[in-house]
């Protein structure tokens, strides 16, 4: 009989054609989807063209221009052009042009391109987002992407797994962002280095898919190879009508081996913020001294979904953005944008004095649409607050969920939602 296995181990075994795998083992596995964006795809194309003239499967490659788009300068326009022409040359099914695109890790689950039991790699570190639907998903470099586009396979070292046991239920204004920041604060930014974070426990049932996507998205910020959730009724409801292909969910064996177990009682969590310059510098918002800010960004692949905008709108409604603050709202996809218009959220934001952007990764990586100057301080629902991440090396980024970000925009300082709502 095969050894008891975790979710990640079962997915690897199935895709490698093996009865079992174990941590540390090197395998070659077939891929269900290969992802690239406008920054990582052009160098991948250069490498691809040295080894092949044909992609392995035009339906299993997704190309999304989202980082420097709409193009901010000539160089970014040339990079997007390279990807666009490659997509046309190889008839790539899932190429998403400006006007029909979104932030990649919001767009792909929304469009049903990722499913339980699959292996997905992407030339972007936050590809681990798709673990929310019970897939193994991880980021790779452009060279690995190139080889994967040619062969449909890649190699992995099977990671050991950490079980994250979730109990209880989230209180009002507490979201998946608070859960994952709490976890990173507990184990550190290298606490799960090249390991799988496998979420379990009765507390999962209280988490929305938006919560799960946010948590899986930031698994990489704890150093993890991937983060993965079991498939339950909430997952199936989300996938129903989105995913058109057959898929095979996996479940961890009851006696699967974990290197350790971390327990989080969701009922005890309060809104938190991660101070500069690491996501592990986590502190309850209620413990923060008055800290004035200059900018708020609500969006990104971490918190750019409609539920995120709904939470922000509920707090901002009836208020004005503080006169010293620039508030930037970025819907994660065209569908999210349209829904936000229909529900009146965009009107709330604009009337409050915020700007609403087209879907883009722009400010998260210090690219465009919200760069910080020397000495400026921002609250952002993004995923990284490294020195210089959003602009000048002497600027500061505080990570938080949409509720804290929205309250901070209104009060002009880092604030909890209960101070406004």
Sheet holding 195-200: strands in order across? 226-228, 195-200, 160-167, 260-265
Taking only the tens place, the pLDDT of each residue in 61-99 is 999 999 998 999 999 999 999 999 999 999 999 999 999
Query: Residue 244, class by beta-carbon neighbours within 10 Å (0-12 exposed, 13-18 middle, 19+ buried)?
Result: exposed
Q: 2 pLDDT band (50/70/90 cuts)?
A: confident
Percent of the chain with pLDDT over 90: 99
pLDDT for the residue numbered 419: 94
Do 103 and 215 meet the contact criterion of CB atoms below 8 Å apart?
A: no
Residue with tokens 């379990």: 200
Strand partners, 262: 164
Q: How confident is the model at residue 421 (pLDDT cuts 50, 70, 90)?
A: confident
Q: Which residues contact 114 (CB under 8 A, 6 or more apart)?
A: 33, 108, 120, 130, 133, 135, 137, 243
CA angle, residues 305, 309, 310, in degrees to nearest 5: 110
CB 180 within 8 A of CB 189: no
Is pTM beyond 0.85 here?
yes
pLDDT for 308 equals 98
**What CA–CA distance (Å, rounded) separates 204 from 416?**
25
Confidence of residue 1 (pLDDT cuts 50, 70, 90): low
Per-residue pLDDT tens digits for 355-378 = 999 999 999 999 999 999 999 999
């Amino acid at each position: 009989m095969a050894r008891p296995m975790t979710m990640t181990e079962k997915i690897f075994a199935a895709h490698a054609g093996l009865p079992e795998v174990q941590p540390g083992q090197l395998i070659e596995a077939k891929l269900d989807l290969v992802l690239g964006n406008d920054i990582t795809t052009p160098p991948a194309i250069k490498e691809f063209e040295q080894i092949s003239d044909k992609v392995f499967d035009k339906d299993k490659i997704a190309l999304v221009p989202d980082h420097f788009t709409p193009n901010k300068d000539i160089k970014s326009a040339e990079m997007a052009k390279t990807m666009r022409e490659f997509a046309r040359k190889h008839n790539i099914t899932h190429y998403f042009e400006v006007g029909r695109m979104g932030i990649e890790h919001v767009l792909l689950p929304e469009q049903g391109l990722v499913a339980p039991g699959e292996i997905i790699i992407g030339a972007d570190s936050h590809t681990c987002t798709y673990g929310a639907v019970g897939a193994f998903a991880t980021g790779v470099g452009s060279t690995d992407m190139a080889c994967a586009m040619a062969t449909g396979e890649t190699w992995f070292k099977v990671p050991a797994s950490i079980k994250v046991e979730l109990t209880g239920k989230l209180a009002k204004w507490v979201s998946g962002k608070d859960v994952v920041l709490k976890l990173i604060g507990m184990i550190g930014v290298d606490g799960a280095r090249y390991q799988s974070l496998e979420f379990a426990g009765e507390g999962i049932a209280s988490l929305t898919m938006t919560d799960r996507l946010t948590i899986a998205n930031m698994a990489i910020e704890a150093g993890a190879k991937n983060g993965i959730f079991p498939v339950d009724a909430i997952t199936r409801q989300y996938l129903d009508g989105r995913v058109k292909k057959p898929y095979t969910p996996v479940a961890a064996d009851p006696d699967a081996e974990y290197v350790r177990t971390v327990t989080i009682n969701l009922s005890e969590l309060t809104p938190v913020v991660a101070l500069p310059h690491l996501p592990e510098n986590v502190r309850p918002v209620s413990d923060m001294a008055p800290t004035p800010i200059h900018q708020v960004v609500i969006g990104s692949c971490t918190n750019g979904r409609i539920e995120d905008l709904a939470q922000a709108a509920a707090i901002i409604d009836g208020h004005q953005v503080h006169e010293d603050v620039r508030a930037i709202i970025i819907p994660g996809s065209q569908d999210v944008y349209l829904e936000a218009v229909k529900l009146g959220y965009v009107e709330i934001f604009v009337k409050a004095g915020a700007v609403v952007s087209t879907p883009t990764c722009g400010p998260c990586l210090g690219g465009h649409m919200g760069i910080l100057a020397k000495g400026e301080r921002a609250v952002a629902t993004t995923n990284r607050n490294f020195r210089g991440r959003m602009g000048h090396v002497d600027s500061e980024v505080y990570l938080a969920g949409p509720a804290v970000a929205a309250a901070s925009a209104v009060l002009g300082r880092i604030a909890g939602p209960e101070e406004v709502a």
